[in-house]
Every structure is written in C-alpha cells, then in structure tokens.
Amino acid sequence: MELLNELNEAQELAVINSDGPVMVIAGAGSGKTRVLTYRVAYLLSQGVDPFNILALTFTNKAAREMKERVLKLVGNSEARYVWMGTFHSIFARILRVEGHLLGYSQNFTIYDTDDSKSLIKTILKDLNLDPKVYVPGAVLSRISSAKSNLISAEEYAGNAEIADQDKQANRPMLGEIFLHYKARCFKAGAMDFDDLLFNMNLLLRDFPEVLVKYQAKFKYILVDEYQDTNYAQYLIIKKLAARNENICVVGDDAQSIYGFRGANIQNILNFRKDYPDAKTFKLEQNYRSTKVIVNAANSVIAKNKQQIHKEIWTDNDEGNLIKLLKANSEAEEGNMVANSIFETKMNLHVQNSDFAVLYRTNAQSRAIEEALRRLNIPYRIYGGLSFYKRKEIKDLLAYFRLVVNPRDDEAFSRIINYPARGIGKTTLDKIEVAALSSGKSLFEVSSAAAHYVKGLNSGTLSKIEQFITMISAFHQQLRVLNAFELARKIAKNSGLLAELKSDDTEEGRSRYQNAEELLNAVMDFSEKEETLFPDLDTGELTAGEITRTLDIFLQEVSLLTDSDTEDEEDNNKVSLMTIHAAKGLEFPFVYLVGLEENLFPSIMSLQTRSEVEEERRLFYVAITRAEKQLTLSYAETRMRWGNMTMNEPSRFLDEIDERFIEQPARKVSSAGFSGGFTGERTKPPMPVKRPLKKISHSENNYERAEATPVELIQPGILVEHERFGKGKIISVEGSGPNTKATVYFTTVGQKQLLLKFAKLRLIN
C-alpha cells in the first residue's frame, strides 16, 4: 500500500493494527506524530467514517499539524471532519451541546487562569480573608488539583482529612472558598479549564444516554502523549473506549514530566492491566540526534526503576561528545554560554534559531539574557507574555465575552467603565453587593439597577442603562453577523479603538496595532472555508446557519495553549525556555544550564524516589532536544534569595556514561571569538572524573604576546589583561598618554581602562 511506503517496520505495524487496544511506546525523535497521522489516514483509507474517529492531543498546534498532514495524505476533504483536537477543545465542543443537562447554556464562558485568580480575589474580599495567607494562585492550584482528581467542591468541603490538611497549612477556609468559587462560576455561566474535564466526567457518569451516544460515535480513539494524562482524562478515555475498545495510546513513559500538573505516569505503565489483550509496539529508532546524544540519554534514563524497557538507537552520525562548562558564578556561566553560541555561529555559519538554552526555572534566564545582550545576540523567551495576555487584547476580548454571555461577571467588571463612562468603583461595588445578595449576575442587576441598587443618582443610572443597551444590541446580532462583522462593530462602537488610538505614544500605538491584529485574527477565522463545528450527529450544517460566529471564535482563543500563541515573526533568535516548555521541540545546538544539586534536581523534588525519577526524566527530555551538539553547564556559586550559595555538580552529570561527555580543558573565556574546548579527538577520550580541577584565569593554550603599543589598540581586536583575562576592545577614545579603551571581558564584563597603565597584550 503506497500510503505505508514512508514508514519503517515498527511504525507500519503501529499503523495497520487498527482494531483492538494498542499501545505505541514512542522514544524521543522516533516519529510519534508520523505514526498518529498515518494511523488516522490509514483508518480513512479503510473506509472508516471521519466522524467516528476521535484523536486527542495536548496542544491545538499538534492537532492542526496532524490534520493538515492527514489531508495531504488522503487527498479527501472529508478528512477535515475527524474529531481531532485537544482534550479541552473536544470536550468543550461536546459540552456546548450537552451542557444544558448540567444547567449550562450553549454560550458558557471559558475562564483562563487570570479570570479564575480575579474571581478568587473577589471571593477573598467578600469573605474578609487575607490574600497573603490565601494566595490566589495557590488557592487556584489546590482547587485545580481537586477537580483533576474528580473531587467536587462539596466533597472537598465535607472531607475531614482534607480539612485537617488545610488547617495544618493555615488555610482552614479553603473548602469554603472552593464552594463559593464553584457557585460564582456557575452563576456567571462559566467553566474553567478543569471544569471542562470535570463536567465531561459528570455527563458520562450521570447521563447514561450521553455515554452510549458518544461510545457509539467514537468507534476509533487515538490519544497522543498518553503519559501526560491525569485521572480525569484517563477516566473519560476509558469510558468512551469501553464499548469498542479500538483505542490507541501513543506516548513515552521516559518523557512523563508533568506530575506537578496532575499527570499520572501509572496511566501508561498500567495500560496492559486495563486492556490485557493490548498489542504493544515500540518505536526505538531515533531520527533526531547523534549516536553520542542518544546513547548518553539512554545511560541516564536506565537509572529509573519505574519504566517500560526499550532500546533507543539511531543510524545518525556518531557526533561530537557532550561538552561540559564549569563556571565560578551564574554570571560567568551566562558569559560562557553566550560566548560559545557566538563562536559556534561564526565557525559553522549557522542561524540564531539553531540554538536553545534550557533551564530548570525561569529565574535562571536573567544571567543568560544579560550575556546574550552584551554580544548583541537576539533571543526570545518562551512562556513570556503572549499576545492574548496583553491588557488591550484582554479588554477587547472581555467585550466579546460579555456580548456572547451577559452573565460573565469577570468580563462585566473589566469593561463596565472602560473606556471611562462615569461608572466608578463605588457604583460597581454597590452593583456587586446587590448581585451577591440577590443571586443575580452583575448584568442582570445592572439591567434593573434602579430596583436592585439603592442610592444611585439619575445620571449614573442613565450611564448604566446606556451600557446595558449597547451590550444587549450587540448580543442580538450574535447569530446575524459573522465573527468579524460583529467584532469590528463592538471594537468601534464601544469606544475602545478610539481610546487606544488617542494615545499617541509609542506604547499607545503598539497597543492600537495589537487590537487591530486581534481583529485580523477574527477576520482570518471568519474566512476559513472548512467547517469546524458540524452537527454532532450527522456532520451536516443547518441551512443558512452561520457557523463562524463570535462565540466559536472565543472558544478557539480561550483554549489556546502557550505553544499555540508564541509570536512567529522574526524567528531568527536564540530560544530561551524551561525544559518543561521545550518538550516536543528540537534544536541543532542545545545548552542545558544550572546543573547543580538542589537546582536540578530541584530541592523540592528529592523527598521520594518517584520525585527524583521525574526529575531524571526531565533531564532525559532536555538531553533529547539536541540534534547535533549538547552542552551542559553548572556554576560553583549562585545567588539564591539574595544569598551566595556554594554548589555541588548535579548527580545527573555523574549518571552520563563517561564515554559520551568531554570535560572542559579550559574555560570559554573570550568574548565569543575563541576558547571553548580543545577540539581534536580521534577516539573518545577517557574523561577526567569530578571533582574537576579549578582552572585559573591565567591558564591558556596560546603564546602570550608582548604588551601592545597604545597606538595599535583598535576596536574589535582581542586582548588579554593580567587580572581580567581575555577581552575584546569595544571603543577607544582620547590620545597619547590619556588614551582610554572600553573593553568587554568575559570574566568581569565591561571595563574602561587607561591604556598607559593597562598593559594589554594582543591575542593573535
């Protein structure tokens, strides 16, 4: 069959065994996405109806790429009707139809983390609780963990053991907060991300007709990254697959790194217990990395006891040994990494985008950023402020949300007086009190403000009425206009665009352009040809129905993940990110920094073997992001919480087979133009075991020149200073005995020196 010609033997077996339970263990770089894609294409080629295939992923980006590949493979536009998307997007889609059974309208709002934290802050204020004790983020995390384990607010509040835990943590009111949070979300017609999973479970548990309906619909189920599923996701999948048992899960236990989010590695380890007749296929050929990198990763992960045995191998080149950088401080570590990137770029003529710097915690990026800036190396930080998190974007989206769902209290509070319309905080407080006491939404109370809110003057009442009338008029057009037509009307008639345009500062112009870009996104959405939301039973559209309405756009936006919202413009930059954010990505040159005990592995993850093993899996993921060259680094001292700490090298460095790692012969101590490692090797050397010899700044592998005459000191030349080591001349000013030079030194940064005293030596 021509479709299968591009697959290796293991991949082909994983694709064509389409009936019954199947587990595909896909090692790093082994073509996991290809198998999923070809499996869907194969099912379609065998005559399976696309409406009967459910493919679940963890990012919209992965789902989109898979769908595009399937369309190319089968050449049939019907393939677009495969139910392919993230867990949250697919279940949100079902809840739009079935949610009325749980008391939700079709237009429920999906709260993001910011919305949830804002609501929790309001609840804390209403309950007169200290936000320093009940930190909103920590409260939300506790609620999220409970819902991921299918513990309801009522069960949480009524559980004596949980209450005792909260009391010991000095947060005895958590159960009460959870109850209020649930009630306020429901009143606002809103679900958060965890509710999408929690409520899907409720539907399947409490409404047998719904369970039977979707068991019959989803005859073939595929799950990507199965090792990352939590209990709620596991239970939904198990229930949906119970009738046909045509379930295929794809994943790698060695890359299970999201335990802190509730992911349960036991889901993949115990798959054969759930399905004793399951077939297992192992994808063990790595197409990404060199032999050195693959074998080094194997030597590390072999130390884990909880795992499915596999032998990852590659036909790729042997490759360079892994480099190890040893620095005195985090500042020097940043300089060494930046210098190495600079030198590699110059020597190999590669792009900035070929490099990634990975770290265990976001705080580690500062020293790397400063070093890259000094060498004018552009970089981008993943996990920074995404487009959809910017204030002006969230303001405009809040208008959209309130138009779609007038019960959305968080959206109402955000825009009731933006742009300013004379409805101040005191008035909003009165509306909130009235809404709380009456059990109504803020919009409902404001719609009859004279009745519910006492003490408002006629002018304020008139302004509230104008706002309510405007939102109501927009709401009436939700099914009349497509998403872009209504969005443009809201942006213009609300006064928000005019407000942004009135700010003529550079920041103001940028905010206005961002709002324009959001409208462009709505236009792109409105003009898409394929139908994302066909009828749940037939796949057909009702005659004359406008499917690309604003509520559907909002659902797509609310379910975007960090990896879906990264700015793709000007991509030629070094990537900086946590290892968790790097999962699924690959780069020719990878730098993994901060390999120190108590930093990586984290001091927070050393209490149990399972915690240490997850840290080791995280290290394995970091190693396997590299295609050609991996560089590891650590610092002997690091500032933590304002104190200088002395560090031991990470235990993980000792776990790499010594055949695959090259110890530093000397420091990378020039500003990106020499140094690094003495490179020639005809066979893998036997590395020096730690503790490594501390190398002084004066140690070097070149002949020292005599002190360079002042008149020969020019910008751009490389020099050495007796105390500061190697550096690069940035600029020269003055003349004769007063000549000064600005020099960038790797060890101490930028210095201005009087040349008659500096006695700089030229490096040839």
Q: Please give the positions annotated as active site.
A: 32-33, 224-225, 255, 625
How many whole angstroms separate alpha carbon 333 and alpha carbon 638? 10
CB 248 within 8 A of CB 219: no
d(CA 601, CA 361): 11
CA distances from 682 to 114, 320, 321, 685 (A): 56, 11, 12, 9
Phi, psi of 421 (to 5 degrees): -135, 20
Tell me how far apart the alpha carbons of residues 201 and 479 are, in angstroms, rounded to a whole number.
30
C-alpha 727/C-alpha 722 separation (Å) is 11
**Which SS3 state, helix, strand or coil, does residue 140 take?**
helix
Q: Which residues have CB under 8 Å from 70's CB, separation 6+?
A: 37, 40, 41, 44, 79, 82, 84
Q: Are 109 and 190 in contact (CB under 8 A)?
A: yes
Distance CA(415)–CA(394), nearest Å, equals 10
Q: What angle (nearest 5°) sits at the alpha carbon of residue 117, between those of residues 114 and 121?
A: 135
Evaluate whether 475 touches 403 at the Cβ level (below 8 Å): yes
For residues 42 and 338, what is the distance between their CA atoms, to the nearest angstrom? Answer: 47
591 in Cβ contact with 629 (< 8 Å): no
Contact status, residue 35 vs residue 8, Cβ threshold 8 Å? no
| Spatial CB neighbours of 466, under 8 Å, sequence gap ≥ 6 | 421
Tokens of 374: 């000094």
> Mapping DSSP to helix (H, G, I), strand (E, B) and coil, where does residue 730 land?
strand
In angstroms, rounded to a whole number, what is the distance separating the alpha carbons of residues 533 and 547? 7
* Amino acid letter for position 544: G
User: Which residues lie closer than 8 Å to 509 by C-beta, 6 or more apart?
Assistant: 503
| Residue 211 structure tokens | 């369970």
3-state secondary structure of 648: coil
